[in-house]
Amino acid sequence: MAARDSRSFLRKEFSDLHLPSLSLNLNVPGYPKSNEIVQRFFLHCLEDLKVYITARQIHLDEKKAILQRDEAGDFYIVPFLTAHHIIPEVKQICEDFEENHAWGRFIDVDITDQSGLPVSSGKSKPCFYCREYPAVECRRLNRHETEDVRAFMFSEMRTYCLQQREITIRRQLSSLALQSILYEISLTPKPGLVDKLDNGVHSDMNYQTFLNSSAAISGYFNDLVKAGSAFGEDDLIKALPVIRNIGLSMEKAMFDSTNQVNTQKGIIFLMGLSLFSTGYIFANGDDFQSEKFRIIVKSICKDLIYRELEKSPRSPATHGEQIYHKFKMAGARGEAENGFPLVFGYGLPELLKSQELNEKVLLRAFLAIAANNNDTNILYRSSADILDQFKALSQTALETGDLIPLTEFCIKQKISPGGSADLLAVSIYIYLLIKQNGNNGLLNFPTLIS
Ligand SMILES: [Zn+2]
């Protein structure tokens, strides 16, 4: 009872100042009124409520807000900044919120006017448990077992909190993936490749073409993370068709946006795997660990070279397949099957030497990958000898900082190290995950509930 008195006291404190107030609490029957899940659910609802009413131009004096947790449960009270005369309108907005919120039946938003009187609309809420009778009636008649109602509520609240966590993760990972791709395509200069100032050896695409296809494929990032979070099979090898399913839609979106030019087929495959795998990781834990990520990618792509390049050659073969049969180099498939060794061995270590991702460190990471990558994009248009010379020139450029010989070589031989650019984008994505994880950076979502 002391807790209830303290709530009335808080309301009175505001009304003594002629301030109307809004309060939020949850109707949890029995004791205790709060626990970890209830509190988390309460804070989610509070955020949802604040956004809902602010969007409707109702403003709260948040500096005077009080958030407390006592024997009566979680409680929040705040005075309005908005003029008094629209209080009935505010009450209506709060009722709309309760009605429209997926879990609004657990929420009580109360409005007290400047005289300290509760503002009621006179409507009675249905019981959230049986949905048959008015809530007040079920409570008065003790119609349901308290323990049953509590178990129902806690399970629903847990579901809501986990859904919110997943939505946040999907948004944040999608954002990091797009950031990585934009950093990669914007890196200037980039020998042989399209950058902001130059089209490299390409005549059918420019920087805008890459912006177009990045925008087109980014609409699917959310789906990839979601597929990873929702993946329930024990055998990760079954994830590959799921990823490819989304990947094919992305390829179509890419071709539609570029007038049928292949700009990002490689990154669709590699980032597709990465987004799916990180979705999978965060559905099962709160931390990103490189080793775990690599094991998941390897498991998804187990025996990929054998299955897709050795065992069943297609006709007509893709570029990658033709290269494999000619040079026994497996390109992006090989990189994926081995858990991205060029990313973790060359690209990422260069990036991690720096606290920030500037053009200098991005170029170094690109060159480090290029110096070690048997890039099938290069092999397709040249020979093993040209590839070796390209790798050696990339190593020299990394050591001397002089890009001119490498750039001239690419132009002369008409070669474009697109595979290394794709792996740079993946390296940036991993870098951002490592840097953002656990900080108040972009990657900042609620922890998993056990
Ligand atoms: Zn009922």
Rounded to the nearest angstrom, the distance between the alpha carbon of 151 and the centre of ligand 1 is 14
Rounded to the nearest angstrom, the distance between the alpha carbon of 101 and the centre of ligand 1 is 20
Rounded to the nearest angstrom, the distance between the alpha carbon of 99 and the centre of ligand 1 is 17
Rounded to the nearest angstrom, the distance between the alpha carbon of 237 and the centre of ligand 1 is 47
Per-position DSSP letters for 65-121, written without gaps between them: -EEEEETTEEEEEEEB-S-GGGHHHHHHHHHHHHHHSTTGGGEEEEEE-TTSPEE--
Determine contact, residues 124/31, Cβ cutoff 8 Å. Answer: no
Rounded to the nearest angstrom, the distance between the alpha carbon of 268 and the centre of ligand 1 is 51
Give the integer Cα–Cα distance in Å for 433 and 288. Answer: 7
Rounded to the nearest angstrom, the distance between the alpha carbon of 130 and the centre of ligand 1 is 4
Rounded to the nearest angstrom, the distance between the alpha carbon of 72 and the centre of ligand 1 is 21
Rounded to the nearest angstrom, the distance between the alpha carbon of 131 and the centre of ligand 1 is 6
Rounded to the nearest angstrom, the distance between the alpha carbon of 141 and the centre of ligand 1 is 9
Please state at what angle helix 265-284 crosses helix 239-257, rounded to 10 degrees. 140
Rounded to the nearest angstrom, the distance between the alpha carbon of 41 and the centre of ligand 1 is 22
Identify which has the larger pLDDT, 331 or 347. 347
Give the integer Cα–Cα distance in Å for 9 and 3. Answer: 10
Rounded to the nearest angstrom, the distance between the alpha carbon of 148 and the centre of ligand 1 is 11
Rounded to the nearest angstrom, the distance between the alpha carbon of 46 and the centre of ligand 1 is 25
Rounded to the nearest angstrom, the distance between the alpha carbon of 29 and the centre of ligand 1 is 12
Rounded to the nearest angstrom, the distance between the alpha carbon of 73 and the centre of ligand 1 is 21
Rounded to the nearest angstrom, the distance between the alpha carbon of 150 and the centre of ligand 1 is 13
pLDDT tops 90 at residue 447: no
Per-residue pLDDT, averaged over 297-319, amounts to 83
Determine contact, residues 33/73, Cβ cutoff 8 Å. Answer: yes
Determine contact, residues 56/97, Cβ cutoff 8 Å. Answer: no
* Lowest mean pLDDT segment, chosen from 101-115, 239-253, 387-401: 101-115
- In three-state form (DSSP H/G/I as H, E/B as E, the rest C), the secondary structure along 202-248 is CCCCCHHHHHHHHHHHHCCHHHHHHHHHHCCCCCHHHHHHHHHHHHH
Rounded to the nearest angstrom, the distance between the alpha carbon of 327 and the centre of ligand 1 is 71
Identify which has the larger pLDDT, 346 or 104. 346
Sign (positive or negative) of CA dihedral 258, 262, 263, 266: positive
* Lowest mean pLDDT segment, chosen from 115-119, 328-332, 393-397, 404-408: 328-332
Per-residue pLDDT, averaged over 340-349, amounts to 98
Give the integer Cα–Cα distance in Å for 269 and 381. Answer: 21
Determine contact, residues 238/394, Cβ cutoff 8 Å. Answer: no
Beta bridge mates, 70: 73
Give the integer Cα–Cα distance in Å for 290 and 333. Answer: 19
Rounded to the nearest angstrom, the distance between the alpha carbon of 32 and the centre of ligand 1 is 21
Closest by CA to 411, choosing from 193, 206, 204, is 193
Res 440: pLDDT: 44
Residue 48 banded pLDDT, cuts 50, 70, 90: very high
Determine contact, residues 336/304, Cβ cutoff 8 Å. Answer: yes
Give the integer Cα–Cα distance in Å for 378 and 410. Answer: 9
Rounded to the nearest angstrom, the distance between the alpha carbon of 286 and the centre of ligand 1 is 37
Beta bridge mates, 317: none
Rounded to the nearest angstrom, the distance between the alpha carbon of 140 and the centre of ligand 1 is 10
Give the integer Cα–Cα distance in Å for 317 and 147. Answer: 63
What is the model's pTM?
Answer: 0.92
Determine contact, residues 139/145, Cβ cutoff 8 Å. Answer: no
Rounded to the nearest angstrom, the distance between the alpha carbon of 155 and the centre of ligand 1 is 17
Rounded to the nearest angstrom, the distance between the alpha carbon of 133 and the centre of ligand 1 is 5
Give the integer Cα–Cα distance in Å for 221 and 12. Answer: 50
Asked, as a colleague might, if the bond just before 405 is cis with ω within 30 of 0, I would say: no
Rounded to the nearest angstrom, the distance between the alpha carbon of 122 and the centre of ligand 1 is 19
> How confident is the model over 177-236, as pLDDT tens digits?
999 999 999 999 999 999 999 998 898 999 999 999 999 999 999 999 999 999 999 999
Return the amino acid letter for 258. T
Rounded to the nearest angstrom, the distance between the alpha carbon of 201 and the centre of ligand 1 is 71
Identify which has the larger pLDDT, 191 or 122. 191
Residue 321 banded pLDDT, cuts 50, 70, 90: confident
Rounded to the nearest angstrom, the distance between the alpha carbon of 24 and the centre of ligand 1 is 22
